Amino acid sequence: MERRMRNNKWLMLALLLISLVSSWLLVNYLVGVVSETADREGLDHISENTEQLRFSLMNRIDETWTIMEIEGLSLSEWRASERSAVQDLIADELTKLLEKSGADKTYIISKDGFFLAANGTRGRWQLDEEMLPVLRGESNLVRRRQDETDGGADYLDFAIPLPTPVTDEGYCVLLMEYRLDTFLEVLKLSTYGGRGVAFVVDEKGRTLFRSVGQLAETRKLSLMFYSVFEGSRFRGNPDITDTESLKAVVNAGKSGAVYAEGSNNGRDYAYAVSFRPLGIMDWHLFLTVEESAISGDRIAYIEQVRWIAFGANVFIMILCLGFYEINTRWQDRRAGVQLSGRERIINTLSDNAQGVYVLVNAVTWNCSFVSQSAEEMLDIRPEELTGNPVAKLVHALGCPELVAALRGWDEKSVFEYERFALAAGKNKTERVLRVRAYPPQAGDTLFVILDETADARRESALEDAMHMAHSASMAKSAFLSNMSHDIRTPMNAILGFTTLALGDVKNTDKVEDYLGKILSSGNHLLGLINDVLDMSRIESGKLRLEEEPVNLPAMMEEIQTIIGEEARKKQLSFGMDVRGIADGNVLCDKTRLNRVLMNLLSNAVKFTPAGGTVTVTVRETGSVPGEIGTYEFRVKDTGIGMSAAFAEKIFEPFERERSSTVSRIEGTGLGMAIAKNIVDMMGGTISLTTEQGKGTEFVISLALHLADAEAPAARTLPAAETEEAAEANDFTGKRVLLVEDNELNREIALEILSGCGIEADSAEDGSVAVELAAKERYDLILMDIQMPVMDGYEATRRIRAFGDPEKASVPIVAMTANAFDEDRKAAADSGMNGFVSKPIDMNELFAALKDALA
């Protein structure tokens, strides 16, 4: 008996030792994996910051070229007969350009090298090979130049050829100079707590510029950038092993990041270094950060791993103790202890450890004992397995591969079969199981079936969270990139044509043309904002469908009126067939359905060359009388079509095909994603067939409830009625209170009201509006919503609470940029009578005025 106890103690000690060693190995392995992952994430983060800095710098350069191009057009407007008399005026223009651009110096230069400066100074420019192509009008130029007359200060020169030579001297080049340190201030770094520094380095490795920071080797890096990395140890980038390979990668124009460690002047350093080519003069942008500034997450990860390993070690020790107890009880049975005592212990352990314990005879391989937890965990009664071969248990687990694995077991070491899934238990839910078998002791082998479903779900949730975080980061970058391009394009046109209009206000024809283009670009920008807001509302689940009676043929007639005119202007053949509609009155969200069809038809017209054909067909494919009708909408064109690869991604946000034809056509890339989501919300389907060069056909299938009553039909106003509507915009003698906190918006609205003959007062917030409404009598109040002191909702409620019934019942119309459906409902709930959204649509405003003042 004592000998058996000593053997058990030695066995227990061996198992604990194995547990501790395994835990130590596991911790080291996991720490290594986490460290590698954290290193990679650190490099990704610094690379992203470097790209943002590069993006800011390139934006600054693009803005400089835009200003110069606009100014170049303005300077080229001077007529030849006036050139000799306008040099002073041109100098004034150059001075204004200095103020507008923030440059330090501006010049215009002639082909012979003579220049005129902003301060009126004239002289001769030192021409060189780099300047000759600009003088010939062949290209632009950007370069670094040292001005010896300014103490050797570094400047950035930007030069472009003028479209037309200016004055008799033939000035043909516009040149602007920025002090290098001032121009590169956009590289200031706000992250990493001041422990990172941005550098601009030329092709010879000399530092041209560095931002302010606390980096230990900033002074040395500010001279010869690569010198501080001599003898460094590099990691995290297989292409970089020493300083020379770092130079080679950078000079090859590649982007990347790497960790550098070493010692300099008796001081250890560890940096994360990211680099990007700037695309000008073979210059490169470096971001160097102390590694400790980005390693905080790694320490947190490692601590988490240590706690996980500690928990695993405790779990293994519990298993070891359980096995020790089981083995002791088994030995006690051989000594005459009853089996029931062993069963109670094993059942208690299995209940606490969430596992099934099975004892198998090492000779017959029959199950001699199965714990009670088998019924709860595997939906198998223990008595069904006790006395039967272990193969029956394996068959019940539904894992044939386990049999082959058991056949190869040497019965000298612990057998372990990795996780597998099994739909089991009383609720037939999927569980993740692991099977362990321990070497035979006193004729029996212990099988342990562990339920690791919770662990698997936690790991899966962690993986999903990491994937979602990565996807969110990628989506953010894609969103910012697309929005930057799509917003800057119309904004560039708006600012550019506004500048041209201000410079040529006396030329009425040109100003009208410029204003038309500004209006077109503004509408395009508004459409982009509306698309982004709609997409945001769809993804957040805030978009709601509002069903109303709709007459489908009438709705299609309205669409034909608009699209038919667009097709006619583009010289396209447009056809519509609605003869297949049997039940025309349905319940649906007319606004959303109309938007989907208008989007498809507008795209068809946009991407179909002149002479092509666009058709739309609507037919009823089936119905339940008096209840539901199934309708099919087909939009077909003979346009440019699309590639199969793009067709698979067309319903994803911001997707636009990149080709020589399509890339010149404006669009947000959100229209098809919005259409797909609306169709999905309506319970329908949308599909397409397309072929490049032959056209595209979209098919929408919807099941719509039939309307009990006939929906209102479309009505086309006759010419006489239209003229009467125009004359009805005269509201002479009416008094209106305009409540608007924005001064520019207030000025615009007052001008519009004045043009209609309205006598208007104004208030800058809701509290002032309440005071005026209590003192004066108005025929109408135009109320903004978001305002300081008191918003429009509260002001309306207070006016409705006046003791004077006439003043309390004054018509109040919301005029606001809060244009969502819930905003309209909130306005109605507060007591408002109408709603006009911003930017103001003149027809919508006049209609609201007519309804309120009639």
Closest CA to 197 of 59, 46, 40, 56: 46
**Residue type at 513?**
D
pLDDT of residue 709: 58
pLDDT of residue 80: 44
Taking only the tens place, the pLDDT of each residue in 204-235 is: 888 877 776 655 444 445 567 888 788 888 98
Distance (Å) of CA 258 to CA 29, 42, 43, 274, 297: 23, 10, 7, 7, 18
Residue 201: other Cβ atoms inside 10 A: 23
Mean pLDDT of the chain: 79
What would the two tokens of residue 29 be? 């392995």
Who has greater pLDDT, 795 or 25?
795
CA-CA distance, 317 to 19, in Å (whole number)? 7
pLDDT of residue 597: 92
Reported in sequence order, the residue ranges of 372-443 that DSSP labels E, i.e. its strands, are 415-424, 429-437
Q: Is 788 in contact with 765 (CB distance < 8 Å)?
A: yes
CA dihedral 566, 570, 573, 579 (to 10 degrees): -10
Burial 496-532 (b: 16+ CB within 10 A, else e): bbebbbebbeeeeebbeebeebbeebeebbebbeebb
What would the two tokens of residue 313 be? 């070690």
pLDDT of residue 257: 92
- Three-state secondary structure call for residue 621: strand
Which residue shows structure tokens 């088998």?
374
Lowest mean pLDDT among 410-419, 424-433, 557-566: 424-433
What would the two tokens of residue 788 be? 């300081």
Distance (Å) of CA 538 to CA 214, 533, 673, 677, 790: 46, 9, 10, 7, 31
What would the two tokens of residue 53 be? 């800095």
pLDDT of residue 345: 55
Give the bridge partners for 834, in sequence order.
813
Closest CA to 815 of 759, 746, 757, 731: 746
Residue 842: other Cβ atoms inside 10 A: 9
Taking only the tens place, the pLDDT of each residue in 144-187 is: 888 777 777 888 889 999 888 887 778 899 999 988 877 777 77
Q: Is 256 in contact with 272 (CB distance < 8 Å)?
A: no
CA-CA distance, 706 to 626, in Å (whole number)? 6
Q: Is 676 in contact with 538 (CB distance < 8 Å)?
A: no
- Three-state secondary structure call for residue 403: helix
Give the bridge partners for 185, in sequence order.
none
Q: Is 140 in contact with 160 (CB distance < 8 Å)?
A: yes
What would the two tokens of residue 584 be? 């025309």
What would the two tokens of residue 193 be? 């707590």
Reported in sequence order, the residue ranges of 301-391 that DSSP labels E, i.e. its strands, are 355-361, 367-370
Residue 302, by phi and psi: left (phi above 0), alpha (psi -120 to 50) or beta? alpha
Q: Which residues contact 494 (CB under 8 A, 6 or more apart)?
A: 518, 521, 522, 525
- Three-state secondary structure call for residue 59: helix
Phi, psi (deg, nearest 5) at residue 434: -135, 135
Q: Is 827 in contact with 795 (CB distance < 8 Å)?
A: no
Taking only the tens place, the pLDDT of each residue in 793-851 is: 999 999 999 999 999 999 999 988 776 777 888 999 999 999 988 887 788 888 888 88
The helix or strand, by DSSP H or E, that contains position 164, with its residue range, turns out to be strand 153-166
Residue 8, by phi and psi: left (phi above 0), alpha (psi -120 to 50) or beta? alpha
Q: Is 211 in contact with 189 (CB distance < 8 Å)?
A: yes
Rounded to a whole number of angstroms, the CA Rg of the chain reads 39
Residue 463 confidence class, pLDDT cut points 50, 70, 90: confident
What ranges in 136-256 are assigned the alpha helix state H? 180-183, 218-221, 243-251
Taking only the tens place, the pLDDT of each residue in 126-137 is: 888 888 899 888
Give the bridge partners for 4, in sequence order.
none
543-559 average pLDDT score = 87
Give the bridge partners for 157, in sequence order.
143, 177
**Residue type at 632?**
E
pLDDT of residue 154: 81
745-771 average pLDDT score = 90
Taking only the tens place, the pLDDT of each residue in 283-336 is: 898 888 888 777 665 556 666 666 776 676 677 777 766 766 676 666 555 544
pLDDT of residue 128: 84
Which residue shows structure tokens 């910012």?
480
Burial 179-194 (b: 16+ CB within 10 A, else e): bbeebbebbebeebee
Ordered strands of the 355-361 beta sheet: 367-370, 355-361, 444-451, 429-437, 415-424
HSE on the CB side for 185, CA within 13 Å?
A: 5
Asked whether residue 686 carries a pLDDT value surpassing 70, the answer given is yes
Taking only the tens place, the pLDDT of each residue in 355-413 is: 788 888 877 778 888 887 777 777 778 887 787 787 777 777 777 777 777 777 877 78
CA-CA distance, 115 to 584, in Å (whole number)? 75
CA-CA distance, 851 to 854, in Å (whole number)? 6
Asked whether residue 581 carries a pLDDT value surpassing 80, the answer given is yes
Lowest mean pLDDT among 11-20, 245-254, 601-610: 11-20
The helix or strand, by DSSP H or E, that contains position 391, with its residue range, turns out to be helix 390-397
Residue 834: other Cβ atoms inside 10 A: 21
Of 378-382, 694-698, 721-725, which one has max mean pLDDT? 694-698
Asked whether residue 439 carries a pLDDT value surpassing 80, the answer given is yes
715-736 average pLDDT score = 60
Ordered strands of the 780-783 beta sheet: 759-763, 735-739, 780-783, 812-816, 834-837
Asked whether residue 94 carries a pLDDT value surpassing 70, the answer given is yes
Q: Is the peptide bond before 839 cis (omega within 30 degrees of 0)?
A: yes
Who has greater pLDDT, 61 or 738?
738
pLDDT of residue 197: 84
Q: Is 339 in contact with 345 (CB distance < 8 Å)?
A: no
Distance (Å) of CA 537 to CA 285, 473, 543: 39, 20, 5
pLDDT of residue 4: 44
Q: Is 586 in contact with 629 (CB distance < 8 Å)?
A: yes
pLDDT of residue 772: 94
Closest CA to 635 of 725, 696, 714: 696
Q: Is 97 in contact with 106 (CB distance < 8 Å)?
A: yes
CA-CA distance, 445 to 323, in Å (whole number)? 11
pLDDT of residue 542: 59
Taking only the tens place, the pLDDT of each residue in 467-516 is: 777 765 665 665 565 666 567 666 766 777 788 778 777 888 878 887 88
Q: Is 554 in contact with 588 (CB distance < 8 Å)?
A: no
Residue 168, by phi and psi: left (phi above 0), alpha (psi -120 to 50) or beta? alpha
CA-CA distance, 552 to 631, in Å (whole number)? 10
Closest CA to 209 of 189, 180, 238, 237: 180
Lowest mean pLDDT among 420-429, 543-552, 812-821: 420-429
Asked whether residue 690 carries a pLDDT value surpassing 70, the answer given is yes
pLDDT of residue 538: 62
DSSP3 helix / strand / coil % (the chain, rounded to 5): 50, 25, 25
As a whole number of Å, the end-to-end CA separation of the chain is 110
HSE on the CB side for 3, CA within 13 Å?
A: 0
Residue 442 confidence class, pLDDT cut points 50, 70, 90: low
Q: Is the peptide bond before 718 cis (omega within 30 degrees of 0)?
A: no
pLDDT of residue 267: 77
Closest CA to 448 of 374, 385, 356, 352: 356
